[in-house]
Structures are given as C-alpha cells and as structure tokens.
Amino acid sequence: MLTDDEVRDLFSAYHDRELSPERTEAVRAALDASPPLQREYAAFCRMLDGLSAMAAASEAPLPGASAPKAADAPKPAPPPDLLEGVQRRLQKRSGGRFYADGWSRLAGILPLELIATLVLIALVIAYAAMTMVSPHPAPAPAAPAAAPAR
C-alpha cells in the first residue's frame, strides 16, 4: 500500500496515464481508500486543466473542464528572419567556409537568374574589351632610309 506522499508524487504520472498497470491500480486503490486524497487529486486535475487552458487560452474563460490541451495552444511565432540570421552567423563565424558548396552561399543571397545575367554581362564586357584592341598591329615606325651607298 502506498503512503499518501507516495501517491501525491504519482499524481502527475497517474493523470497522464504514464504508470504501469500495477502502479495505476495501486494509486487507484489508495484514492478509493482515502476521500481526502481523492479531493486532493480532483483539485490537482482541475489545476492541470486550468494550466492547460491558460496556456491555450486566447478567449476561453478559466478554469474549465473542457479546456483545450496546452499542446494545442498557439505557439509563439518565430521571427521571419530566423533562417537568415542563422546563415549570417554561420557565414561570419566560419569565414564562408562552412558549407561544402561555397557557390550555394552566393545563390542564397542572390537569385540565380541575376547571377547568370551578371556573368553574361561580365563576359560581354570582357569580349568587347578584347575586340576594342585593334585587330591589326600598329605599323612599326618607318626605318630611316638607308643612306645610298656611294
């Protein structure tokens, strides 16, 4: 037979149906045998309902037997830039060497279309720069006429 204190320590697990069948039966027997303990357990259950409802509450009055479970409560929303913040820190602390594919870091910052356009523009500029140089070599300075042989 469990003592009252032992039963109190098992209230949570009993409420959550986390006890073995033997332990569950022992707690049930102890509660049946002790009306004060029964009242204590009933108050404990109402408290948990109240806590769950408090966690889940948006409009619902408290406490309530039909309270929604706390796990269904709306959770605090993460900031929209959490991922960007993580990537910024990773990038800074690793000096840009964290990921296996370094190019993907740039791709995360700029759209691929923009990167492709920039590369194309760079190629065009490079080509233009090369063709601006005259294709014909500049004529060599005229050599002084050789003095006629006398």
Partner 1 sequence: MTLDLEAERALVERLRRRDEAAFNLFVRAYQARVFSLVQRMLGNRAEAEDLAQEVFITVFRSIDSFRGDARLSTWLYRVAINHCKNRIKYLDRRVTRGHDALDDEGGKALTEGGPVMSRPDRPDESMQGVEMARVIERALVLLEEEHRALVVLRDLEGLSYEEIMTITGLPEGTVKSRLHRARAALREAIERGLGYKLPE
Q: Considering beta carbons, is residue 98 or 127 the nearer one to partner 1? A: 98
Residues 6 or more apart from 24 whose CB is under 8 A from it? 14, 17
Q: Considering beta carbons, is residue 58 or 131 the nearer one to partner 1? A: 58
Residues 52, 67: contact at Cβ < 8 Å? yes
Measured between alpha carbons, how far is residue 109 from residues 20, 54, 90 in Å? 54, 42, 14
Q: Quick one: which of 65, 71, 138, 147 contacts partner 1 (CB under 8 A)?
A: 71
Least CB distance to partner 1 at residue 49 (A): 10
Report angle CA 79, 84, 90 to the nearest 5 degrees: 125
- Between CA 81 and CA 106 the distance in angstroms is 18
The stretch among 7-15, 111-119, 122-130, 140-148 that binds partner 1 (CB under 8 A) is: 7-15
Binding mask 90-129 for partner 1 (x = CB under 8 A): x--x----xxxx--xx--x---------------------
Task: Give residue for tokens 């700029």.
Answer: 110
Contacting residues toward partner 1, per CB under 8 A: 8-13, 16, 18, 42-44, 46-48, 50-55, 57-63, 69-73, 75-79, 82-83, 85-87, 89-90, 93, 98-101, 104-105, 108
